[in-house]
Amino acid sequence: MLVICEDCAKKYNIDEMKIKGESARFSCRECGHIIVVKKPSKNISAANENQVVKEPEVKSGFAGGGSRESNQVPSPPASAATATSGGGKGWPISAYLLLTLVTGFFVISGTFSYLYLKYIPEIINQQIELRTIAISKSFAGVIQKPLLVRNYLQVNKEAQRTSALPGVAYAAVTNKRGIVIAGFFSDLNKFDRQFVMKVKKKGFPKTIINANALPAGMKEKSKQISVGGQRVFDHVIALPNEEGEVHVAVYVSEIDDAIRNVLLSPLTLSLVGGVLFIGFVIFLLLTRSITKPTRELTDMANRISLGEMDLTITPRGPREMRELAVAFERMRYSVKAAMERLKK
């Protein structure tokens, strides 16, 4: 139990377990005032345990006069004790800073994700379409003469050469009756097993041609289709004089996998980790620069409220904290000066 003399602010640590009876009395060593300490009862809350009754200095009967009546000083209310001990509701400053950091990270991540999902797929599809159209036109121009003279061997060679280009899924040629006269896949291992067995058994599937059929009156058409478990971008071009059609497809799933590999690459993950680490370091620095001066100032104020009036409050931290520390220092000086005037 901490007991403070009202007149001189001298502090005493009293063990309430050693108090015999309901109260104990002793005189202050500094000013001689008699302090009466009542033993706290068990049914009183912890905030009101320390009840101190202080009496002014009692002049003994040896001087011929009787002792003056003792004046009881009421104990501080429970709310004041709670405020002094630092209790209270509310989040700490570090929680607000952490919330700001996490919110900013998610906002930035969400913005980049939105931009990626809105613009990047469209740009990629445009590039795939342009590349497929370029390969298809080149292939159609090469096979026009061999197809006109019915040199199907040369047509098959050109179809095989076109299918071997990077990113190309297949290349096929149909005649005016819609019969596939040349059709080659770049790598059958990229397709599912059932589809591969069907190709080896029956040749180039007519269903692929029908999946992106060219309507009457149109000269070319593009469409994303699924072939053997792979998503491809198929472009069909009508040959001159209605000699047939040319189909060339480019893998779409491979490009998606390449983009995914880039996004999940060690370099990308390292950059994300670096951003998180820098943000965490900034969070620690901000927390330390704000919370540490706040805790020191709170501790100083609590000690001054318990009677340590000779403490000097040194301004530290941000400008607002320094201004608050200066205000506390002025208040401490004013209270100390008032107590000295009361002693006189």
Residue 72 has a pLDDT of: 42
For residue 93, the model assigns a pLDDT of: 78
Separation between Cα atoms, residue 123 and residue 144, nearest integer Å = 32
Q: Percent of the chain, pLDDT > 70?
A: 85
Task: Compute the mean pLDDT over every residue in the chain, rounded to the nearest whole number.
Answer: 78
Tell me the angle at which helices 93-148 and 266-305 cross, rounded to the nearest 10 degrees. Answer: 170
Question: What's at 130, amino acid-wise?
Answer: L
So what's the pLDDT on residue 38?
78
Amino acid at 138: S
How much is the average pLDDT of 51-77?
Answer: 39
The answer to whether residues 249 and 167 touch, using CB atoms and an 8 Å cutoff, is no
Q: What are the backbone angles phi and psi of residue 36, rounded to the nearest 5°? A: -105, 125
Residue 291, amino acid:
T
Closest C-alpha to 23, from 52, 46, 58? 52
**Cβ contacts of residue 15 below 8 Å, gap of 6+?**
1
343 CB-contact burial (10 Å; exposed 0-12 / middle 13-18 / buried 19+):
exposed
Angle, vertex CA 323, rays to CA 319 and CA 324, nearest 5: 115
| 162 band by pLDDT with thresholds 50, 70 and 90 | very high
If pLDDT is split at 50, 70 and 90, which confidence band does 41 have? Answer: low
Q: Give the right CATH number for 95-263 from 3.20.20.70, 1.20.190.20, 3.30.450.20, 3.40.50.300.
A: 3.30.450.20
Nearest Cα to 311, choosing from 323, 302, 321, 322?
302
Q: Of residues 38 and 56, which shows the higher confidence score?
A: 38
Q: In Å, what is the CA distance from 342 to each residue of 7, 27, 122, 337, 338?
A: 8, 20, 82, 9, 6
User: Could you read off the pLDDT of 208-255 as tens digits, one per residue?
Assistant: 988 988 888 888 998 989 998 888 999 999 988 777 899 999 988 777
Instruction: Spell out the domain ranges in the chain.
Output: 1-61+72-79, 95-263, 285-344
Q: Is the pTM of this model over 0.75?
A: no
DSSP at 241? G
Tokens for 9? 């602010």
The residue type at 195: F
For the cut 50, the answer to whether the pLDDT of residue 328 exceeds it is yes
Q: What is the three-class DSSP state of 125?
A: helix
Helix runs in the chain, H state only: 78-84, 93-148, 152-163, 193-202, 206-211, 253-263, 266-305, 319-343
Looking from the CA of 142 toward its CB, the CA atoms found within 13 Å total 19
Q: Which residue, among 66, 52, 58, has the nearest Cα to 31 in the 3D structure?
A: 58
What pLDDT is stored for residue 152 in this prediction? 86
249, β-bridge pairs: 170, 234
In 3D space, the residue among 27, 22, 20 whose CA is nearest the CA of residue 3 turns out to be 27
